[in-house]
Amino acid sequence: MSTNPPKLADLQLEYEQAPSLLKGDSPGKEWLDIPVVFRDGNWCHAAKPNVIEDLGFNNPRKWSPADEDWKLEEGWQKIVKDGMKERLDKFRSFKLFMDICVRCGACSDKCHFFLGSGDPKNMPVVRAELMRSVYRHEFTWSGKLFKGLVGARPLSEEVLKEWFMYFHQCTECRRCSVFCPFGIDTAEVTLMGRELLNLAGTNINWISEPASNCNRTGNHLGIEPHTFKNVVESLAEDIEDQTGITVNPTFNRKGAEILFITPSGDVFGDPGIYTMMGYLMLFEHIGLDYTLSTYASEGGNFGLFTSNQSMKKINAKMFHEAERLGVKWILGGECGHMWRVVHQYMDTMNGPADFLEEPVSPITGTKFRNATSTKMVHIAEFTADLIHQDKLKLDPRRNDHLKTTFHDSCNIARGMGMLEEPRYVLRNVCNSFNEMPEHTIREETFCCGSGSGLNTDEYMDIRMRGGFPRASAVKHVKDKYDVNALVAICAIDRASLPPLMNYWNPGVSVYGLHELVGNALVMEGENERTEDLREDEMVDFEPESAAREEDE
């Protein structure tokens, strides 16, 4: 292995000794004069030509960000400028955020990438200035007149490279927008930046290929229907082996009451599969009339990281499939950006879903009044209601081998405002739960460092730096409360936090919320449970019952 990611000791030394803007050391020049250098570990592979063709984007070709020549097509500047004009006219957020920043600096040390790198261009204000400087030059008279004096600069290949680098060092987590006195949301700027990068034919494969796959097969990984079914059935077999309970998930079944959609990472990725097992057990336990779909087999939506049109296209399958199957409403699994799309975009883009009914829990009769139009309910809302109405038989001692803390996913916290539901579920399925320090949780939560489609291996250097603020907060509770389980309700978290923990906090494993629900569920007719869904020993479980006998 080369330097990607750097050895932990080297990075620790760098943090402690190297001068950094975060520590107040000046880089000695203006950010405009700091060149963009692509090195091992700080760029993602370019999208493959066939993927670009498949998505209908510009200039499919073989190239690499590390190349001197990016083989941009003739006239790319005009394409980008026209694209910018179009988006300024379509998105008030974009136009407003180009104009009203006062550079007060409140956001400057709020970004996990800045905290992990000290790179001036990772301060949210500068990230937006990368775009604003061009905006001023092209669209304001003061910029045209006074140029550099008012912070304007023309669009050049160097600027495009800078955009490519820094709009892929933003995970659209929106933490900066919590602190901005005007609510300027860098995610909006990055979304536009990435749309423009796509217009220029400078896409990254880790985002484009899943988007393309999702369109064809229904999920990011390109899994075809028969394989999807096989894998879920093999998880059902695992459940049977461990618990003695038979679960019978159905697929593409017309007339089911509820369509369940979750990120494909839960079906195919470790440790997401244990969360999937948790869902299946829960549904069996309450006798839910639900079906899975092989066509709408992806909750996630990498279109969000590509362009609003791709987002809409990928998202359209959910309602389309719900209508075809004739279900009453849709239940959605644990995922971050999926829920940003479902909560804030789906009804606008692909609604109204007149063919569905206002969601009511068939078990408790609770009406989900906050979802009456979109008709899609989050599993944490659904389960919190079940627990509150005492419909689940739970033994939290079965999670006593886990000392947990909870990681709020960016999109769930800042794009949905769902903070209490998962905590309520967690407190009811385990006995040890300690919060990370304030300013690192809830609406101020830190990104895993790999969100928005950046969780690719060649990017480990940046990911381990960007994830440092999250890891540092976990280390705090690990040292203080012996936390060994980081619980998250996001599929990208479940994929990207394990390497982050291995790097910064070995000994901390990553769990989905419903995996812990699955561990704690006391199901009728089950075998004696001595192992959790990962086949790890449930410590203290038998001894405790033995201890009780001794007491008696």
Partner 1 sequence: MKLIYPLLAILLLALVAYFGAAAGLEYLFGVIIPYISIVLFLGGFSWKIYDWVKSPVPFRIPTTCGQAKSLEWIKRDELESPSGFWGVFGRMSLEVLFFRSLFRNTKAELAPGPSLAYASSKWLWMAGLLFHWSLLVIVLRHYRFFLASVPGFVELLESVDGFLQITLPTLYITDLLLVIAVTFLLIRRLASAQMRIISLSTDYFPLLLILAIALSGISMRYLDKVDVVEIKILVQGLVSFQFDAPGKIGGMFYVHLFLVCVLASYFPFSKLMHMGGIFLSPTRNLANNSREKRHINPWNPEVKFRTYAEYEDEFREKMVKADLPTEVPLPEEKE
Q: How far is the CB of 258 from partner 1 (least distance, A)?
A: 16
Q: Specify which residues 378 forms β-bridges with.
A: 332
**Rounded distance, CA 160 to CA 303, Å?**
21
Q: How far apart are CA 293 and CA 254, in angstroms?
A: 10
**At what angle are helices 379-388 and 272-286 packed, to 10 degrees?**
40
DSSP code string of 127-179? HHHHHHHHHHHHH-HHHHHHGGGGT-----HHHHHHHHHHTTS-----HHHHH
Q: How far is the CB of 477 from partner 1 (least distance, A)?
A: 12
- Residue span binding partner 1 (CB under 8 A) among the ranges 256-264, 377-385, 491-499, 543-551: 377-385
Applying CB under 8 A, does 269 fall inside the site for partner 1? Answer: no
Is the CB of 46 or the CB of 214 nearer to partner 1?
A: 214
**Which of the residues 308 through 327 are near partner 1 (CB under 8 A)?**
308-309, 312-314, 316-317, 320-321, 324
**Cβ atoms 32, 153 nearer than 8 A:** yes
Our CB check for partner 1 shows the closer of 102 and 546 to be 102
> Cβ closer to partner 1: 44 or 322?
322
Measured in degrees and rounded to the nearest 5, phi and psi for residue 201 equal: 75, 30
CB of 129 to partner 1, least distance (A): 7
Q: Does 82 bind partner 1 (CB under 8 A)?
A: no
Closer residue to partner 1 (CB): 308 or 432: 308
- Binding mask of the shown chain, residues 381 to 420, with x at each position contacting partner 1 by CB under 8 A: x--xx--x------------------------xxxxxxxx
Q: Return the range that interacts with partner 1 (CB under 8 A); candidates 76-84, 155-163, 214-222, 535-543.
A: 214-222
Binding segment toward partner 1, per CB under 8 A, in 27-35, 59-67, 265-273, 280-288: 27-35
State the DSSP code for 377. E
Q: Which is nearer to partner 1, 317 or 529 (CB)?
A: 317
Q: Is 99 in the site for partner 1 (CB under 8 A)?
A: yes
Residue 174 or residue 401: which is nearer to partner 1 going by CB?
174
CA distance 274 to 26: 47
Please select the residue that binds partner 1; options are 35, 75, 105, 506, rule is CB under 8 A: 105
Site string for partner 1, 276-305 (x = CB under 8 A): ------------------xx----------
User: Residues 64, 66, 104, 527: which binds partner 1 (CB under 8 A)?
Assistant: 104
Kindly report the number of other CB atoms within 10 A of residue 334's CB atom: 32
CB closer to partner 1, 437 vs 543: 437
By CB under 8 A, is residue 232 in contact with partner 1? Answer: no
Site for partner 1 in 337-356 (CB under 8 A): 342-345, 347-349, 351-352
Which of 10, 73, 89, 241: binder of partner 1 (CB under 8 A)?
A: 89
CB of 105 to partner 1, least distance (A): 5
Beta carbon of residue 338, minimum distance to partner 1 (angstroms, whole number): 13
Which range, of 73-81, 104-112, 238-246, 510-518, touches partner 1 by CB under 8 A? 104-112
- Least Cα distance to 441 among 452, 433, 429 occurs for 433
Give the Cα separation of 429 and 426 in Å (integer): 5
3-state secondary structure 16-27: HHCCCHHHCCCC
How many CB atoms are closer than 10 A to CB 475? 17
Q: Among 173-181, 235-243, 394-402, 507-515, which window interacts with partner 1 (CB under 8 A)? A: 173-181
By CB under 8 A, the count of residues binding partner 1 is 125
CA distance 143 to 338: 39
Residues 447-506 that bind partner 1 (CB under 8 A): 468-469, 472-473, 475-476
Instruction: State how far the Cα of 539 lies from the Cα of 27, in Å rounded to an integer.
Output: 52
Single-letter code of the amino acid located at 81: K
For 126-161, give one letter per residue: b (16+ CB within 10 A) or e: bbbbbbbbbbbbbbbeebeeeeeeebbbebeeebbb
Q: Which is nearer to partner 1, 63 or 179 (CB)?
A: 179
Q: What are the counts of helices (DSSP H) followed by strands (DSSP E) for the chain? A: 25, 7
